[in-house]
């Protein structure tokens, strides 16, 4: 069996092994996929050992995506833009290639699964961390009217936006920038929801046509999802679809096959309830 794994810390609650086992079964691929908790500061050592032992590919999750970016022998264009790698693949020529499938996963979930058309939309992104950096290029390629990034630390949002201005209308700053504005698509990428806090936002930013996407997911609706539903947003979702779609894109990089994702999304959602 070909060996694959996800490296992270913590890793216990990772859904990636279940998702890839489902893909492998569906596509009749002889592969094993394990979740590995890597010590902080130990990424290179663990990754070198994994490939030296015959490993074929890795997924990388927090906090190692930047380590994986440096580790890769060759980078896809979107990975070099994102300066973060979530997929490593042993290529035919022996080079370990780094890619980032998070943004493709987000866009595919929105467009193919949810039927949201991003083109022409006014997009608000809350948060300016690594998760946002990973998705900006694929989002901008959908040609929204514009993207505004707001963040608790305004300078981080400004700097991040500045790196992508050649791809479309994008700006960033502090939360005060959203006052008096309305958005068609609001994406939460701040980890604030993890602690059960709702990022402070005026409900006036939503219209009855607004779509709200939380890149997080949990057994219960997240604080951001509850906030959006309470203010009657048109559609509200968590990040389970993105999780499965980024995995499907990694699977495609490794195996050259596109698994069917709907049933896997449904079963992950079922399992978290």
Would you give the distance in Å from CA 70 to the centre of its chain? 19
128 binds ligand ATR (CB under 6 A): yes
Nearer to ligand ATR, 47 or 131 (CB): 131
5 binds ligand ATR (CB under 6 A): no
Single residue of 97, 156, 242, 245 touching ligand ATR by CB under 6 A: 156
Nearer to ligand ATR, 22 or 228 (CB): 228
Distance CA 118, CA 251 (A): 25
Number of residues interacting with ligand ATR: please give it, by CB under 6 A. Answer: 15
Please state the closest distance from residue 136 (CB atom) to ligand ATR, in A.
12
Q: Known catalytic residue: 1?
A: no
C-beta separation of 9 from 40 below 8 A: yes
Contacts (CB under 6 A) with ligand ATR, residues 174-193: 189-192
Distance CA 152, CA 167 (A): 24
C-beta separation of 118 from 107 below 8 A: yes
Nearer to ligand ATR, 24 or 216 (CB): 216
The strands making up 2-8's β-sheet, listed across from edge to edge, are: 31-37, 2-8, 57-60, 87-90, 96-99, 74-75
Name the burial class of residue 86, with classes exposed (0-12), middle (13-18) and buried (19+) by CB atoms within 10 angstroms of its CB. Answer: buried
197 binds ligand ATR (CB under 6 A): yes
59 binds ligand ATR (CB under 6 A): no
* Annotated binding-site residue numbers: 14-16, 61, 77, 86, 102, 127-131, 151-156, 215, 217, 239, 246
61 binds ligand ATR (CB under 6 A): no
Single residue of 153, 203, 204, 263 touching ligand ATR by CB under 6 A: 153
Degrees to nearest 5, angle at CA 81 with 63 and 157: 70
243 binds ligand ATR (CB under 6 A): no
Please state the closest distance from residue 152 (CB atom) to ligand ATR, in A.
3
146 binds ligand ATR (CB under 6 A): no
127 binds ligand ATR (CB under 6 A): yes
For 230-235, the CB contacts below 8 A with 24+ separation are 230/203, 231/203, 231/206, 232/206, 232/208, 233/186, 233/206, 234/208, 234/209, 234/210, 235/114, 235/116, 235/211
User: Among the candidate windows 98-106, 145-153, 203-211, 230-238, which touches ligand ATR by CB under 6 A?
Assistant: 145-153
Active site residues: 65
Contacts with ligand ATR by CB under 6 A lie at 127-131, 151-153, 156, 189-192, 197, 199
């Amino acid at each position: 069996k070909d060996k694959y794994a996800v490296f992270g810390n913590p890793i216990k609650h990772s859904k990636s092994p279940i998702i890839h086992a489902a893909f492998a079964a569906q596509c009749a691929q002889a592969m094993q996929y394990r979740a590995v908790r890597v010590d902080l500061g130990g990424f290179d050592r663990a990754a070198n050992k994994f490939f030296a032992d015959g490993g074929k590919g890795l997924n990388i999750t927090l906090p190692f995506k930047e380590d994986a970016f440096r580790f890769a022998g060759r980078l896809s264009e979107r990975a070099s833009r994102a300066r973060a790698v979530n997929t490593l693949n042993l290529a035919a020529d022996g080079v370990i290639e780094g890619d980032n499938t998070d943004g493709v996963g987000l866009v595919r979930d929105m467009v193919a699964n949810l039927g949201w058309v991003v083109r022409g939309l006014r997009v608000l992104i809350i948060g300016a961390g690594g998760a946002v950096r990973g998705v900006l290029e694929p989002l901008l390629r959908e040609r929204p009217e514009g993207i505004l990034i707001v963040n608790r630390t305004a300078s981080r949002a400004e700097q991040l936006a500045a790196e992508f201005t050649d791809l479309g209308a994008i700006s960033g700053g502090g939360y005060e920038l959203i006052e008096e504005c309305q958005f068609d698509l609001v994406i939460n990428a701040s980890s604030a929801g993890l602690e059960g806090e709702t990022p402070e936002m005026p409900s006036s930013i939503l219209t009855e046509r607004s779509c709200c996407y939380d890149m997080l997911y949990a057994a219960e609706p997240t604080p951001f999802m509850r906030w959006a539903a309470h203010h009657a947003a048109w559609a509200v979702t968590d990040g389970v679809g993105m999780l499965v779609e980024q995995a499907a894109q990694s699977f495609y990089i490794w195996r050259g096959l596109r698994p069917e994702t709907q049933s896997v999304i449904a079963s992950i959602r079922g399992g978290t309830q």
